[in-house]
Amino acid sequence: MSSRKQVLLNRHRRHKRIFLLAALLLLAAVGVLVAWWLVPVLLVLGWIAHEAWFADHLFYSPQDDYRYVFPTGTARQSVTLADGRVQLSGPLAAGETLILELELCATAAGRWFDPRVIVGDDRQDFERGVRGRRYLNVSGKAEALASGALAISGRFCRLPASATLYAMCNPDYAERRLMVLAPHADDAELAAFGLYSRAPEAFLVTLTQGEIEADDYRRLGLESARAARLKGRLRSWDSVAVPLWGGVPQGRCVQLGYYCLQLPAMLAEPAQVFASRESGETDVRSARRHNAIVLPADGDGRPSGENLHDDLVALLELWRPELIVTPHPELDPHADHIATTMALQRAVRDSCWKPQLALLYANHLHDNDRWPMGPAGCGIALPPALAPLPADALWSPCLSADVQLDKAMALAMQHDLQGRLPLKKRLRRAIQELLAGRRWPASGANEFFRKAVRRHELFWVRRFNDDSLNVEVAPATDESPLSPARDQGGP
């Protein structure tokens, strides 16, 4: 993971240890001075309270402002929020991606229940105790906005009297020839199923097998290395088979077969071979058996940065995409995700074919493991941006209910998103549903069924140039909680 994410996580764990130590000392005092039987009762009540209200991984204060800057020339206008409506100060500017900047303030109840803004038929949730600048996504509601009929109200939070509306005008990028880069099987579906499933020319490239953390497969009687190899085979199959559900034929899908959490090291030492951490394999050709095209690394199968580079250059020159869909190098902290975009930048630099644009996505965040917050089927508000980000434009296409269902089924086909949650998470969800009013979808237990199946997809639009995507990547560590199997997240 990135060094910033590691710092935030270490600080969170340190504060939690200090709190637990203080709580234990207090309980010991209660047991000695009041009554011993109060100790187990308070322990149970404290655990329930923690699971209901304090288990979220939130690495910032809910009172911090989000910090977004949009490109020079982005249309903006003041609006008033009066009589339960968004009222424009003038004609609505042209643009399909509409973002409403406003100051939110949680009520007293909003410290115990998720504050939310109801905008038209949509709902977008925010942090408990929120008090600061936030950004609603009102894309798809231009007609109601223009007519003054867009209803807005707060639940467990107070809305301001005025706000700022940004309008960004993009072409329909689904009509362009596009290539989606997925560090792992399921990343393409999580971020861009709605986009690639309606694109007439979409190509999908998955960089890794996704073989690590295969403990669930050991229940089949397999030792660790065999379990990892089986998991790698299954996820490699997912990466080329599931896109067919979205209309992308197998011949336009490629699995490169490199190994999880080794991409950063491969970029740092391109000539070295980096074997799988768990399967013991050193030849990526075992994962490429279903590829319809021949790539440079098919010659020797070495898992090296040089081969990854040559593979990406070959794909750029073969498919000649006009735009690339790839992880956001500043927002998404997963080390393999950062390395994927870094490898792309190097390949574009050396390729004879130069794509025009990058559409950046974030399947993980530095600061908030629940984003997008709220139930499945709702809109996607902008994620926390507490450090300055490049002034990228946004593109947020809308997904119909039918496409959302297809996206949920595409996720259900992914082996890494299947299976039952551990008992601890099942208990936590039951407590949160009962006490905090949270809900999870029926389509799947994994947290990504809630986070990814939404009425919007969200991309940051960035033009390619010599250094636009040039980022540093921190080496992945064995304790990283953002490896492919652990990153399913949630509270």
Tens of pLDDT, residues 61-102? 999 999 999 999 999 999 999 999 999 999 999 999 999 999
Contacts of 81 (CB under 8 A, 6+ apart): 87, 102, 152, 159, 160, 161, 162, 163
Same domain? For 326 and 245 the reply is: yes
Range of the domain at 194: 173-356+400-422+437-453
State the average pLDDT for the chain. Answer: 91
For a pLDDT cut of 70, what percent of the chain falls above it? 90
Same domain? For 240 and 110 the reply is: no
Does the pLDDT value for residue 380 go beyond 70? yes
Same domain? For 160 and 297 the reply is: no
For residue 39, what pLDDT is reported? 74
Query: Residue 469 — very low, low, confident or very high, per pLDDT cuts 50/70/90?
Result: low
Strand partners, 98: 167
The answer as to whether 293 is a domain residue is yes
For residue 45, what pLDDT is reported? 86
The answer as to whether 362 is a domain residue is no
Write down which residue in 125, 140, 168 finishes a domain. Answer: 168
For residue 254, what pLDDT is reported? 98
Same domain? For 220 and 330 the reply is: yes
Compute the average pLDDT of residues 219-238. 96
The answer as to whether 445 is a domain residue is yes
For residue 470, what pLDDT is reported? 55
* Burial of residue 70, with CB atoms counted within 10 A of its CB: 0-12 exposed, 13-18 middle, 19 or more buried: middle
Same domain? For 22 and 82 the reply is: no
Does the pLDDT value for residue 161 go beyond 60? yes
**Distance (Å, whole) CA 365 – CA 344:** 20
Residue-wise pLDDT tens digits, 336-359:
999 999 999 999 999 999 999 999
Q: Which of 49-63, 198-212, 317-331, 471-485 has the lowest mean pLDDT?
A: 471-485
Same domain? For 203 and 149 the reply is: no
Does the pLDDT value for residue 474 go beyond 60? no
For residue 6, what pLDDT is reported? 62
Nearest to 328 by CA among 133, 483, 183: 183
Whole-Å CA distances, 270 to 126, 254, 277, 286, 304 = 42, 21, 17, 21, 6
Residue 126 and residue 383 in contact, taking contact as beta carbons nearer than 8 Å: no
**How does 359-393 read in b/e, with b if 16+ C-beta sit within 10 Å?**
bbbbbbbbbbbbbbbbbbbbbbbbbbbeeeeeebb
For residue 160, what pLDDT is reported? 97
Write down which residue in 168, 184, 204 finishes a domain. Answer: 168
Compute the average pLDDT of residues 213-233. 95
3-class DSSP assignment, residue 424: helix
Rg, Å, the chain Cα set = 23
For residue 487, what pLDDT is reported? 38
For residue 484, what pLDDT is reported? 37
Same domain? For 205 and 341 the reply is: yes
Query: Residue 486 — very low, low, confident or very high, per pLDDT cuts 50/70/90?
Result: very low
Same domain? For 177 and 164 the reply is: no
**Distance (Å, whole) CA 362 – CA 487:** 13
For a pLDDT cut of 90, what percent of the chain falls above it? 81
The count of domains in the chain is: 3
Compute the average pLDDT of residues 155-159. 98
For residue 478, what pLDDT is reported? 45
Query: Residue 299 — very low, low, confident or very high, per pLDDT cuts 50/70/90?
Result: very high
Nearest to 254 by CA among 299, 318, 193: 318
Work out the number of other CB atoms within 10 angstroms of the CB of residue 37: 9
Compute the average pLDDT of residues 234-251. 97
The answer as to whether 366 is a domain residue is no
pTM of the entire structure?
0.90
Same domain? For 35 and 131 the reply is: no
Helix and strand totals (H; E) in the chain? 11, 16
First vs last Cα of the chain: how many Å apart?
Answer: 19
Residue-wise pLDDT tens digits, 254-279:
999 999 999 999 999 999 999 999 99
Residue 235 and residue 184 in contact, taking contact as beta carbons nearer than 8 Å: yes
CATH code of 441's domain: 3.40.50.10320
The answer as to whether 101 is a domain residue is yes
For residue 3, what pLDDT is reported? 56
The answer as to whether 228 is a domain residue is yes
For residue 12, what pLDDT is reported? 63
The answer as to whether 88 is a domain residue is yes
The answer as to whether 17 is a domain residue is yes
Same domain? For 135 and 202 the reply is: no
**Distance (Å, whole) CA 105 – CA 257:** 48
3-class DSSP assignment, residue 379: coil
Compute the average pLDDT of residues 402-412. 98
Same domain? For 322 and 417 the reply is: yes
Same domain? For 236 and 146 the reply is: no
**Distance (Å, whole) CA 441 – CA 411:** 13
Write down which residue in 168, 200, 218 finishes a domain. Answer: 168
